[in-house]
Amino acid sequence: MRLLMTGICGFAGSAVADAGKGLQMKNSILAVAVAAALGGVLAAADGNEAAAREVVALERKTLDGWQVGNPDPLLAISDPEITYFHVVTDKRLDGLPAVKALFEAYRGTPLFDSYEMADAKVQSSGDTAVLTYTLVRHVGTATTRWNATQVYQRKKEGWRIIHSHWSATR
């Protein structure tokens, strides 16, 4: 009986030890998988933050251009197939030539003395980033606010605006 118990206990002990090693292996694999997933999420978050910084910097450059009446910084990053909505147009403008024709009427005319990009938010996924903000324009003692939505797409040339929508706030 003692031999039988030892044999059973020995086998049972070995099975428990093997099960413990199996559990440790599963936990190790799980830990590596979680770390890899989190690393991917953190890398994506870093990538999204980098995209957000780039897009906001490009947008500021376009606004700096408009501050001195120069649409060229905006035209330089506008996609050839851009679509554009603004209160000064009766309908959507399609394509860079149409947008350029609108902007030429404002060339040499500063659109504001100073500005702020209030509540800027960039939402990005892959090669697309959507920037929304309120443009606070200061002209003399007057202040106006405009809601802006700029859709950027990363192309081989860099970030390009593929859609732009402006509306006056209430």
Q: Domain limits of the chain?
A: 2-168
pLDDT tens digits for range 121-157: 999 999 999 999 999 999 999 999 999 999 999 999 9
Which of 131, 87, 138, 86 lies closest to 111, judged by CA? 138
3-state secondary structure 111-155: CCCEEEEEEEEEEEECCEEEEEEEEEEEECCEEEEEEEEEEEEEE
The CATH code of the domain at 2-168 is 3.10.450.50
Unique residue bearing structure tokens 């990053």: 77
pLDDT tens digits for range 22-54: 556 555 555 444 444 444 433 344 668 999 999
The whole-angstrom separation of Cα 55 and Cα 43 is: 18
Extract the tokens encoding 45: 């978050």
pTM of the shown model: 0.73
